């Protein structure tokens, strides 16, 4: 009966994936259903040509989001000679894309439960958001056609860790503690301790939530990069992979090792990004992250 329910929920799973799912479910229980915010996010981003009026509508029904957008528009990083009072003016100053991603990030913030400052959940939130900011900046530099999806994929790339923290509690926190004390690898040490990794959980979870295939592939492939054709846009997984390394370089991460030379990363080489360009992108990531995280963390 257990096998039947697994295959019913995931009809397109390969045999190997199904075996992983069995290990995941037997260890942490059934994977959680999609929270309402995921549905809202996907509705909001289903049409990349949606207009300012649509975004304004999303903001108008949530006074907290409206306040955060206005605060960001008036922040020192976007400093203006006169104060910004309207959502429309804020959108014009920040740009349509920045406002939409801020709304998505603010909504996603609610997925990360309150935690002690610098505790595992808090670290995970800050790493996830900094990775999303880095992915946004890389995608902008590349003029990538799927910037919004890349931002979402980067924001959710470690969603498996969140599920494991919530379901395994002290057992997973102990694994994290060992990883940080040894600067070990999450993927390797999770596999050794549990028989599966946060990447496995993330991939299965996003598939269960019926997220678009491109997002699932980007989230599930941010450690083991997929092949690609040079005549096609760089796969989103490559952008998330490099953004993840950038977040670690900025020390917005767990202590699980850092890439000393970003330009040597497979993803950076595929995108033909040299050391100077990467440092320029890193500088912009640091500035945007510092400006936006403070506003997102305000209640």
Does residue 1 surpass a pLDDT of 50?
no
d(CA 126, CA 145): 26
Domains belonging to the chain, first-starting first, are 113-296 (1.10.3210.10)
Cβ–Cβ < 8 Å for 169, 163: no
pLDDT of residue 20: 74
Tokens of 110: 């609610």
C-alpha–C-alpha distance, residues 189 and 170, integer Å: 16
Across all residues in the chain, what is the average pLDDT? 81
Q: What is the mean pLDDT of residues 117-137?
A: 90
Residue owning tokens 């909504």: 107
Tell me what pLDDT residue 43 has. Answer: 63
- Cα 56 versus chain centre, distance: 24
CA distance 10 to 34: 14
Q: Which of 210, 101, 116, 223 is nearest to 151 (CA)?
A: 101
Rounded to 10°, the helix 63-73/87-94 angle is 50
Q: What is the reported pLDDT for 299?
A: 56
Q: pLDDT value at position 118?
A: 72
pLDDT confidence tier of residue 4, bands split at 50, 70 and 90: very low
Work out the percent of the chain whose per-residue pLDDT is above 90: 31
pLDDT at res. 93:
78
List, for residues 99-121, the tens digit of each pLDDT value. 777 777 777 777 776 667 778 88
**Tokens matching residue 211:** 């997220």
* pLDDT given at position 281: 96
Whether the per-residue pLDDT at 261 is higher than 80: the answer is yes
Rg (CA), the chain: 19
Residue 9 has pLDDT above 60, yes or no: no
Query: What is the rounded CA–CA span in Å between residue 86 and residue 22?
Result: 51
Q: Please determine, for residue 6, whether its predicted confidence score (pLDDT) is greater than 70.
A: no
Average pLDDT over residues 180-187: 88
In the chain, count of helices (H) and strands (E)? 17, 0
Residue 238: is its pLDDT beyond 90? yes
- What value does the mean pLDDT take over residues 185-214? 88
Q: What percent of the residues of the chain are helix, what percent strand, and what percent coil, each to the nearest 5?
A: 70, 0, 30
Q: Of the given ranges (1-5, 49-53, 162-166), which has the lowest mean pLDDT?
A: 1-5
Rounded to 5°, angle at Cα 71 from 65 and 72: 90
pLDDT at 194 over 80: yes
Alpha carbon distance 284, 138 (integer Å): 10
Residue 136 binned pLDDT confidence (cut-offs 50, 70, 90): very high
pLDDT tens digit string along 28-45?
777 777 766 666 656 655
């Amino acid at each position: 009966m257990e096998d039947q329910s697994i295959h019913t929920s995931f009809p397109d799973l390969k045999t190997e994936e199904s075996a992983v799912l069995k290990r995941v479910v037997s260890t942490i229980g059934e994977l959680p259903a999609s929270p309402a915010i995921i549905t809202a996010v996907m509705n909001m981003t289903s049409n990349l040509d949606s207009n300012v009026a649509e975004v304004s509508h999303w903001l108008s029904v949530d006074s907290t989001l409206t306040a955060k957008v206005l605060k960001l528009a008036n922040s020192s990083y976007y400093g203006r000679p006169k104060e910004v009072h309207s959502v429309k003016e804020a959108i014009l100053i920040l740009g349509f894309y920045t406002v939409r991603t801020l709304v998505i990030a603010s909504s996603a913030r609610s997925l990360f439960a309150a935690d002690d400052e610098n505790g595992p959940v808090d670290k995970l939130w800050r790493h996830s958001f900094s990775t999303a900011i880095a992915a946004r900046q890389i995608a902008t530099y590349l003029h990538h056609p799927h910037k919004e999806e890349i931002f979402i994929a980067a924001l959710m790339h470690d969603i498996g860790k969140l599920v494991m923290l919530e379901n395994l509690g002290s057992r997973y926190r102990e694994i994290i503690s060992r990883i940080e004390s040894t600067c070990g690898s999450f993927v390797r040490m999770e596999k050794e301790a549990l028989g599966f990794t946060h990447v496995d959980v993330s991939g299965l979870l996003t598939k269960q939530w019926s997220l678009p295939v491109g997002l699932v592939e980007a989230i599930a492939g941010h450690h083991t990069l997929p092949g690609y054709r040079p005549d096609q846009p760089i796969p989103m997984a490559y952008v998330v992979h490099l953004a993840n390394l950038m977040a670690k370089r900025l020390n917005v991460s767990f202590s699980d090792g850092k890439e000393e030379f970003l330009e040597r990363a497979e993803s950076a080489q595929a995108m033909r990004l040299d050391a100077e360009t990467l440092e320029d992108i890193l500088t912009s990531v640091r500035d945007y992250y510092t400006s936006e995280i403070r506003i997102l963390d305000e209640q």
